[in-house]
Amino acid sequence: MKINRQEFLGKLKSILSGVSKTETLEQSNCFVFSDNMITAFNGEVFAATEFQFDNEFAVNANDIVQLLSRIPDEEIAMVYKDSQLIISGKKKRAGLVTQQEILLPIDTVPRPEKMRIAKKDFLKNLQMAAKICATTNENHLISHVHVTPNIIESTDRYRFLRIQMDTGAKEMLIPATAILSVNSMHVTHIELVKNWLFLKNQDKKIMIAVCCGEGEYFKSEMLESVCAIKNANTIQLPEEVGKMIDRSSVMTENSMEKEAQIVIDSSSITIKTQKESGWYEEKQKIKYEGEEIKMTVNLSLLKDILSKTNKAIIGDGKIKMEEDNMEFVVSLEK
């Protein structure tokens, strides 16, 4: 069969969140071609997209994505022969060894009978909250995003984000690393089935499911006390901070944890980033009266917050930014 290379590559990349780099489950580092679908599953994220192909097999996900990324041809041909997936372009051919027996336990993931229409910005707000969470699993409360019918919130004990919205969802705890691994997609429908949150893009026919946690979240009274600030001092962050974030993010360790130290004193705001191979520092003037303050924050999240407001409140050892339905609080460093 002949197919558009870029469209096919886009389909594969859209479900990469379900692939694990190492084989945590049998074939969890593979794409499975079966029942007119391409599926990936790593035990925490299930991802699938529609694709009609006559044969059933598993193929290494990284190999096929890397191969298709390097072939320049607009159109390619794919043939299944002698347990290999043969991909051909002009004057070029490659064969990928496949596994004919499907061992990936995709049948253990339940399927929704029907799905509800998703609320606007549901995934975007989930991913904002996920940037707050701790990356370790030592405490599931700080590594998961808490969702209720009217709130999306998260904390790592030092930072807290709450977004009030009609989520259209039941109460659940969603692992932050899983939701951050999901590519940006226009979610049209959602459903929760047996602790699996399903997200669907109807136009591109992509479905992703994330395994949710169980148990109670932090007490609301405690979270309310986190948000409360007395004797507040208000400052206005410069509009230039967004561009400072873009420049400083070059010197951060990886895509999920692009963190920086922010220092504010009586004359300036400074952003500092560092990784093993280098560091970056930039200052801008600011009007502020008070003691020097320091905080560590995810740069991508800070940019999301600044798109809503650049006003900050400082007091009681923390800094708070809020606008309409959003509250963002960071504990200051001593």
Computed from CA positions of residues 73, 79, 80, 81, in that sequence, does the dihedral angle turn out positive or negative? Answer: negative
Q: How far from the centroid of its chain's Cα atoms is residue 132's Cα?
A: 11
* pLDDT at res. 312: 93
* pLDDT at res. 256: 60
The answer for residues whose C-beta is within 8 angstroms of residue 202's C-beta and 6 or more apart is 188, 189
* AA letter at 134: A
* pLDDT at res. 254: 66
Whole-angstrom Cα distance, residue 103 to residue 173? 29
Q: Give backbone dihedrals phi and psi of 248, rounded to 5 degrees, phi first.
A: -75, -20
Q: What is the largest CA-CA distance in the chain?
A: 74
Q: Are 241 and 310 in contact (CB under 8 A)?
A: yes
CATH topology (fold) of 116-193+208-224 = DNA Polymerase III; Chain A, domain 2 (3.10.150)
DSSP state letter for 157: S
Of the options 3.40.640.10, 3.40.50.720, 3.40.50.740, 3.10.150.10, the CATH number for the domain spanning 229-331: 3.10.150.10
Query: Same CATH topology for 2-108 and 116-193+208-224?
Result: yes
β-pair partners for 60: 30
* pLDDT at res. 257: 67
* pLDDT at res. 266: 86
* pLDDT at res. 56: 96
Domain ranges of the chain: 2-108, 116-193+208-224, 229-331
Strand, coil or helix: 44? coil
* pLDDT at res. 334: 76
β-pair partners for 193: 196
β-pair partners for 79: 86
Q: Are 223 and 153 in contact (CB under 8 A)?
A: yes
* AA letter at 45: V
Q: Are 66 and 225 in contact (CB under 8 A)?
A: no
194: left (phi over 0), alpha (psi -120 to 50) or beta: left
* pLDDT at res. 184: 78
Whole-angstrom Cα distance, residue 327 to residue 74? 47
Tens of pLDDT, residue by residue, the chain (334 residues): 999 999 999 999 999 999 998 888 999 999 999 999 999 999 999 999 999 999 999 999 999 999 999 999 999 999 999 999 999 999 999 999 999 999 999 999 999 999 999 999 999 999 999 999 987 767 889 999 999 999 999 999 899 999 999 998 889 999 999 999 887 788 999 999 999 999 999 776 899 999 998 889 999 899 999 899 888 888 999 989 999 999 999 898 765 668 899 999 988 999 999 988 999 999 999 988 888 999 999 998 999 999 999 999 999 999 999 998 999 999 998 7
**C-alpha radius of gyration, the chain, whole number:** 23
Burial of 312 (0-12, 13-18, 19+ CB in 10 A): buried
β-pair partners for 314: 233, 319
* pLDDT at res. 230: 85
192: left (phi over 0), alpha (psi -120 to 50) or beta: beta
Query: Class of 2-108 per CATH?
Result: alpha beta
Inter-axis angle of helices 299-306 and 241-248, to 10 degrees? 160
H or E stretch covering 116: strand 116-117
126: left (phi over 0), alpha (psi -120 to 50) or beta: alpha
Strand, coil or helix: 53? coil
